[in-house]
Chains A and B, each alone.
Chain A
Amino acid sequence: MSGQVTIIEFIITIPLVIALAIGCGGSGRGLALFAAWANLLLGAIVFAVVLARGGGDMHFQSSHILLDSPELTLGFAADGMSAILVLLTVIVTFCAVRISPQQPGKGSGRLYYVSLMLIAAGALGAFCATDLFFLYAFHELALIPTFLMIGIYGHGREKVATAWKITIYLGVGSLILLGGLIALYVQLSPTGGLTFDISKLAPGPGDHPLSAETQKWIFLPLLIGFGILVSLFPFHSWAAPAYACAPAPVAMLHAGVLKKFGLYGILRVAMPLLPEGFDAWKELLLILLLGNIIYVGFVTISQRYLDRMLGHSSVMHMGYIFLGIACCNSIGWGGAVLMMFAHGISIALLFSLCGSLRARLDTLEFTRLGGLGANMPFLAVTFGFAAFASIGLPGFANFASEITIFFAAFREAGELGSLQVVTIVALWGVVISAVYMLRAYRRIFQGECIGNLGAADLEREARLPVVLMIVILLITGLFPNIILKLVPDLVGTL
């Protein structure tokens, strides 16, 4: 398999090479834009090819052995889930790079674009790695520039404190995760040699080599570690302040893409390798995800600033994805992956619009805004679309994913277990989202105008990414099958 360079390797290498080129003195904006276009194209090709060949198998496999004992391979491949997340990453990266020139206070911008490229490369590598080590390592590669950018280019007086908080919080989360992954690798490696290769760690058909008890205790650090990265309740408090502080492209990339790594990890590593471990903690997860949906939902309603509200809303929607995962059937997982995609695009869209608003206004406090729809018609309309998508109105991918998840929970007719009860409570989350999103929209764009009359509408360069994201949400919302059929039975052994 080695010897030929696959398209996946290209996708990961391009941003890395571009980052190096920018670091050596290239033009930040031009090179980054080139990488974004190239990756958008290649990502679309990967997605199309995987769609055509079926999402159940691994495509574009490549592997280079770096170390024999313990076996370490630099390997990449993409199945349906990876292809969806690769597509998500390249779209959000493209939009983030495209709106970057409008970001205030980035100075010469070289470090800025290098960081963006590294985040993109890290996310792509993590989603395609077939090796436990590189799965983890690429995520770290994306995290560190994220921290740096929030501290350097963030806004608000609290930016250093906030950046420090997210650094420590996610650093600890990654370490707990690393502990779990090492335990997994030590315990699950086949006899006769340690290996990091996920496919070799996977238990074969038949009985699982580990007892249910062992699985349970290895799963816990994985759940906590991945949970911290996804802002699972009660580990969510880093998210909203960080997104409020972060420059818009970073918020887009982290909330839209990088946060999905935790969910991806649970679906790719934790559940397939430790099925009984998941069963042991399922009830706990159901309670925690209600915390995400209902508790954080109410917190979101009470927010007074747009950026913080969006941050909390992104935490809240993670609850639905966990619900889809907890359904333990292929419909639920399909819904979860579709929601990862839909939420990724819609939250990126919202953060990009929020960034544009911030650049125009003195404040994002609701009580000091109003009537902006009159002189910013484009922003008002697109923000409306984004808000509707986020609530989950029919026609958008978010709707399709939510309804898939809710149906998945009731697949077994007539049964009313904890999953079904939780799902019924979680349904109210849709109402909560409607309350805060519609209220925010009314307060910002409608009603009496309180100042800021001179602010102009969205500039021409920033319109393409916004429209692109809305169109993608609509397409995948009207034809959710493109995504859903790429997610076959993820966890075959269950």
Chain B
Amino acid sequence: MLPYYLEIYVVILGVLMLCLELFSGRRSRSKIALVGVAGLGLVIGLMIFAVPAPGEDTQYWGIYHYDQWAAFYKGLALLATLLVLVMAREFAPVFKHYTSRDEEASGIGEFYCLPVFVCAGLMWMSSAKDLVTIFVSLELVTMGFYVLVAFMRRNVGSLEAGVKYLILGALSTGFLVYGIAWTYGVSGTFSLDQLSVSLSGDDLPESAAVFAFALLMVGIGFKIAVVPFQIWVPDVYQGAAMPVTAFLSVASKAAGFIVLLRVVEPFLSVASLRDPVLYLIVFVVCATLIYGNLAAIAQKNIKRLLAYSSIAHAGFLLMALPAMGGSVTVSGPGPHASIAFYLAGYLVMTLLCFLVLTIVRVATEGEDLVALEGLGKRAPLLAFAMLVGVASLAGIPLTVGFFGKFFLFNIAIQNAMQGGLWIVVFVAVLGAATGFYYYFKIIKAMYWGTAADEGEVAEFKVGRLAMVSILVLLIAVFFFGIFPGTLLGLIQ
């Protein structure tokens, strides 16, 4: 099977779901989500037939390639989308409330289709071979998100988030295009393979190349939400519906990092450009880690808290970049593998948290930390799942989050020992320590909070599919936290 059939299948699935929406009843559209889940599961299964041999890199038309990384990120995108659909099904009551006047389901059919198209964009991007393909697929992803964020049209917060995301997203796209244009001007090529060759030419205008890189960083920085391009994150995360927030924090971040890794490496491997590019990256890493972690401390809304924490996680992920392209040799998993491992772990633990939060949101109508109070008594399993997810985000040993952070620290420390840059390690240690504080605030609310003792008790309804997903993710957090080798084996 040709690997790009996978994307085609996903697009067909999306179109199929749209058609299905026409013919389904006005009361219930949850079947569409089920079709989506089943279809995405099928595509994940089909990936087995398109597995690349180790080291194999199949190319098509010079713009699409399929190697182990592409396959891994495609799997990640499919899995994330599948879980988001599960989440969206649980979230249907809230959607109904904010989309149609009479609590009908008629308005929410499209919601299940959009993530599937976004997924196709993500999959295409993980195989993109040149800057134009990257741009087009990234826009496919972003367009989907514009609609998803503003989907709850009767909710002011959602609309506000939509407008903010649209304006800032368009702005960042502008920067990205401009950066691509400059890169083309400097190197004369769109192809990522030839970029590093033509950048290392003798007559390279260095300042122009650095300028091009800075513009690209601005564009990508918006997508992965690093300081100073993070302003939109808290508001958009807070305003968007819970499943969309989850999808944004996992898929949008993964997409940004796929692009970033592809684009940064050619620039870093050119000796004359390495230093200025490195300084830019180090500045961004430190600022992101400090801002994300410190700002999260004061948050009372869970989605805002997780928004800042996702900024902080972007900072941790960036720690691996300085070790790329240069002469640094890393013992243990390299930057690519570590980032892939972290993103996979981040997907598992973030979606676990958001699944629980979705159920809590539907039952209590609250998104503040107070809404979680007493969860330990009322829904022990949900509370435990949240506990594990949060502990993993904080990086407690025996969870996948620990090894994610550990591999990145491993790289940063070895990089610092060989090439300086201890500042990154120092800031990251402080960031991780701060993380403990605000993540434990969630645990504190769940188990020690007393707000729920008085007043009416909300009833938690958990669908069977959501329950299975929670259990699977719960086991995955522990499994990959104790046997990190299995996940690394998938990557390498």
A-to-B contact residues, CB < 8 Å: 23, 66-70, 72, 74, 107, 110-111, 133, 136-137, 140-141, 144, 148, 151-152, 159-160, 163-164, 167-168, 171-172, 175, 179, 182, 186, 193-194
In the complex where A152-B376, A160-B448, A175-B433 touch, is A70 in contact with B332 (Cβ < 8 A)?
yes
Task: Give the most central of B396, B397, B432: most A CB within 10 Å.
Answer: B397
The A contact surface, by secondary structure, is helix
B341 to chain A, nearest CB (A): 11
Decide if A182 touches B332 in the complex (CB within 8 Å): no
Q: How near does chain B come to A429, taking the closest CB pair, in angstroms?
A: 34
The distance in angstroms between the C-alpha atoms of A160 and B380, with both chains bound, is 19
> Is there contact, CB below 8 Å, between B396 and A144?
yes
Shortest Cβ distance from A386 into chain B, in angstroms? 31
8 contacts between A and B (CB under 8 A): A66-B482, A70-B331, A72-B484, A110-B380, A140-B396, A152-B447, A160-B444, A175-B436
Binds A, one of B53-61, B306-314, B408-416: B408-416
Query: Are B398 and A164 in contact, with the CB atoms below 8 A?
Result: no
**B-side contacts of A144, CB under 8 Å:** 391, 396
Is B279 positioned at the interface, with any CB of A under 8 Å from its CB? no
Measured CB to CB, the nearest residue on chain A to B413 is A186
Report the minimum CB–CB distance from A72 to chain B (whole Å): 7
- What residues of B have a CB within 8 angstroms of the CB of A107 in the complex? 377
Query: B483: CB under 8 A from chain A?
Result: yes
B378: min CB distance to chain A, Å = 12
Given A70-B332, A111-B380, A152-B376: A137 in contact with B413 (beta carbons within 8 A): no
B360 to chain A, nearest CB (A): 18
Contact A67 B448 (CB under 8 A): no
In the assembled complex, which residues on chain B have CB atoms less than 8 Å from the CB atom of A136? 397
CB distance from B409 to the nearest CB of A (A): 7
> Are the C-beta atoms of B440 and A148 separated by less than 8 Å?
no
Chain B, residues 466-487, CB within 8 Å of chain A (1/0): the string is: 0000000000000000111100
The answer, yes or no, to whether B5 is at the interface (CB within 8 Å) is no
User: Interface code B387-431, partner A: CB below 8 Å = 1, 0 otherwise?
Assistant: 000010000111000100000011001100100000000000100
Q: Which one of A68, A74, A151 contacts B444 once the chains associate, using CB atoms below 8 Å?
A: A151
The 7 closest A-B pairs by CB, nearest first: A137-B397, A151-B448, A67-B485, A70-B332, A160-B448, A171-B436, A137-B398
Of all chain A residues, the one with the shortest Cβ separation from B397 is: A137
Specify which of B331, B376, B384 is in contact with A69 (CB 8 Å cutoff). B331
Task: Looking at the assembled complex, report how far the CB atom of A121 sits from the nearest CB atom of chain B, in whole angstroms.
Answer: 11
Q: Are B488 and A67 in contact (CB under 8 A)?
A: yes
The verdict on B283 contacting chain A, using a C-beta distance below 8 Å, is no
Instruction: Determine if A179 and B444 form an interchain contact, defined as CB atoms under 8 angstroms apart.
Output: no
Known: A111-B380, A160-B448. A179 touches B429 (CB 8 A): yes
Chain A residues near B448 (CB-CB < 8 A): 151-152, 159-160, 163-164
List chain B residues, Cβ under 8 A from A151.
444, 447-448
How far does the Cβ of A142 sit from chain B's closest Cβ, in whole Å?
11
Which residues of A have CB within 8 Å of B433? Answer: 172, 175
Q: A residues within 8 A CB of B447?
A: 148, 151-152
Partner of B484, one of A67, A148, A182: A67
Question: Apart from A69-B331, A164-B444, A194-B331, what are 14 other A-B pairs with CB-CB below 8 Å?
Answer: A66-B483, A68-B485, A70-B331, A70-B410, A72-B484, A72-B485, A148-B443, A151-B447, A160-B444, A163-B448, A168-B436, A168-B437, A171-B436, A182-B413
A111 touches B376 (CB 8 A): yes
Residues of A within 8 A of B410 (CB): 70, 186, 194
CA distance A110 to B376 in the complex (A): 12
> In chain B between 97 and 131, which residues have their CB closer than 8 angstroms to a CB of chain A?
none
A140, B398: Cβ atoms under 8 Å? yes
Taking CB atoms, residues of chain A closer than 8 Å to B444 are 151, 160, 164, 167
Q: How far is the CA of A159 from the CA of B448 in the complex (A)?
A: 9
Residues of chain B contacted by A137 (CB below 8 angstroms): 397-398, 402
B416 to A, closest residue via Cβ: A186
Give the complex CA separation of A159 and B450 in angstroms: 12
In the complex, A64 Cα to B429 Cα: how many Å? Answer: 30
Closest chain B residue to A167 by CB distance? Answer: B440
Contacts of B398 in A (CB 8 A): 137, 140-141
Q: Which residue of A lies closest to B414 (CB)?
A: A186
A23 to B433, CA, bound (A): 30
Q: Bound complex: CA of A151 vs CA of B488, how far in Å?
A: 37
- What's the Cα separation between A168 and B439 when bound, in Å? 11
Give the chain A neighbours of B333 by CB distance below 8 A. 69
**Cβ of A171: which chain B residues have Cβ within 8 Å of it?**
436-437, 440
